[in-house]
Amino acid sequence: MQERFYPVTEPHLDEQDRRHLMDAFDSGWISSQGAYLEAFEELFAVFTGSRFALATCNGTTALHMALLALGTKPGDQVLVPTFTYVATANAVTYCGAEPVLVDCEEDTWNMDPARAEAALTDRTVGIIPVHLYGHPCDMDPLRDLAERHGLWILEDAAEAHGARYRDRNVGTLGDVAAFSLFGNKVITTGEGGIVTTDDERLAERMRRIRGQGMDPKRRYWFPEVGYNYRMTNLAAALGVSQLKKIDRLIAAHRQVAHWYLQELAEVPGLVMPVEREDVHSVFWLFSLRLRAAEDRPELRDELMWRLLEDGIDTRPFFHPMHTMPVYDQDGDFRVADRIARSGLSLPSSPRLDHDDVRHIAGRLIHHAEALGALPRPAGL
């Protein structure tokens, strides 16, 4: 009998998505102009409450064009959490600037504002907080830090569409924000990205950078070196359709997280993800830690193998950037080190129902116990 396979994530594609995509195809506007592009940017701006939204090829180009528009140049230093996906650091490197890595908080796994302050130098120009797994960073201390030192803030919101911090939307908490629309994110356009900002000058600069640097008032006149970082109308058609159902998708992610917490929160030896009181997390990936793996990382890896044999896919936490040969740097990253080796993400598709989550949680407890990775109950 073929067991059901549970992927960590899957794109939510339905008949409405197909209709939008085919409509763009049938219109003949398949390249980087068309009504869906305009509609997608407008709808995304409304969704985040930003004045401007500009669609682009992917989340990494979104970060890159934001950094260029902010004026990031060789010699500059930018604060980046060490615990993130590599694109955050890579985008800084594309500008010839240096990502300076910052350790994370114990509970949210996001950039630690106190540690960010300690990492400042006279070359620091900005901060890229990453709202990891859908939980917003503690932005007020970071904004305060930025204000006191004249730094800009670029939110890496690749994993947090629709999240809120103190009743403010992710995407409006810094000078500019970058979202990813990759196939495994909260919503997708296949590959895709989008930036949001309230700053008209930044929006204008990003528009130019995205379109080969062309002078907006003079066709085929290129006063600067730009990029082709445009999105297609086909992708934007998918984006419009996905945005129409984003509230439902986020509610489903939160429901899945709620069910996992019901099943797992009381299990000693497992460390649950938090949702701080002043935030609304979208729980893009339901991620947790195996306490015993802090000292014995092989337990986490063995647990993942055994779950995979049951058809349950999981994902290990990111390797912190300071452990990568290309981003190797000195510093105290002990929280990230501990968290990275003990964490994993569970299947988090919005299509999961309560029985699925119960089943996955049950298998997780079973294998963790069999591995001796959970503390024995007292009295046994």
Ligand X SMILES: *Cc1c(COP(=O)(O)O)cnc(C)c1O
Q: How many chain residues are in contact with ligand X, going by CB under 6 A?
A: 14
Look at the chain and count its residues. Answer: 380
CB of 60 to ligand X, least distance (A): 3
CA dist., res. 133 & res. 184, Å (int): 12
Give the 3-state secondary structure of residue 11. Answer: coil
Active-site option among 73, 185, 217, 245: 185
What does the per-residue mask of binding to ligand X show for 40-79, with x meaning CB under 6 A? ------------------xxx-------------------
Q: Which of 270, 266, 260 is nearest to 342 (CA)?
A: 270
Position among 13, 85, 204, 291 found at the interface with ligand X (CB under 6 A): 85
Residue 133 engages ligand X in binding (rule: CB under 6 A): no
Q: Which of 130, 270, 303, 371 is the binder for ligand X (CB under 6 A)?
A: 130
CA separation for the pair 151, 91 (Å, rounded)? 17
Facing residues of 195 across strands? 54, 178
User: Residue 183 in 3-state DSSP?
Assistant: coil
Query: Interface with ligand X by CB under 6 A: which range of 75-83, 154-162, 167-175, 257-265?
Result: 154-162
- Active site includes 245? no
Q: How far is the CB of 33 from ligand X (least distance, A)?
A: 22
Q: Rule CB under 6 A: which of 339-378 touch ligand X?
A: none
From the centroid of its chain, how far is CA 330?
25
On whether the CB atoms of residues 177 and 171 are closer than 8 A, the answer is yes
Q: Closer to ligand X at the Cβ: 174 or 373?
A: 174
Exactly one of 32, 72, 77, 84 binds ligand X (CB under 6 A); that residue is: 84
Q: How far is the CB of 284 from ligand X (least distance, A)?
A: 9
Select the residue interacting with ligand X from 17, 159, 175, 337 (CB under 6 A). Answer: 159
* Residue nearest ligand X (C-beta atom): 59
The residue behind tokens 């990494």 is: 60
Residues 178-217 that bind ligand X (CB under 6 A): 180, 182, 193
Residue 178 or 293 having the CB closest to ligand X: 178
Identify the three-state secondary structure at position 159.
Answer: coil
Whole-Å CA distances, 345 to 286, 303, 377? 6, 12, 25
CB of 85 to ligand X, least distance (A): 4
Candidates 158, 256, 312, 344; binder of ligand X (CB under 6 A) is 158
87 versus 252: smaller Cβ distance to ligand X: 87
Bin 150: left if φ > 0, else alpha if -120 < ψ < 50, else beta.
Answer: left
Bridge partners of 54, per DSSP, are 195
- Taking the CA atoms of residue 154, residue 159, residue 165 and residue 170 in that order, the dihedral angle to the nearest 10 degrees is 50
CB 216 within 8 A of CB 192: no
- What does the block give as tokens for 218? 């003079």
Restricted to residues 294-333, the positions that interact with ligand X (CB under 6 A) are none
Strand pairing of 152-156 and 176-180?
parallel
Task: Determine the interface stretch with ligand X among 80-88, 144-152, 228-236, 257-265 (rule: CB under 6 A).
Answer: 80-88
Tell the smallest beta-carbon distance from residue 156 to ligand X (Å). Answer: 5
C-beta separation of 317 from 287 below 8 A: yes
Pick the closer one to ligand X by CB: 77 or 180: 180
d(CA 250, CA 186): 7
Tell me the closest approach of the beta carbon of residue 89 to ligand X, in angstroms. 9
Non-local (6+) Cβ contacts of 61 within 8 A are 193, 227, 229
Least CB distance to ligand X at residue 201 (A): 24
Identify the residue among 9, 48, 88, 197 touching ligand X (CB under 6 A): 88
Catalytic center residues: 185
Q: What is the binding site for ligand X (CB under 6 A)?
A: 58-60, 84-85, 87-88, 130, 156, 158-159, 180, 182, 193
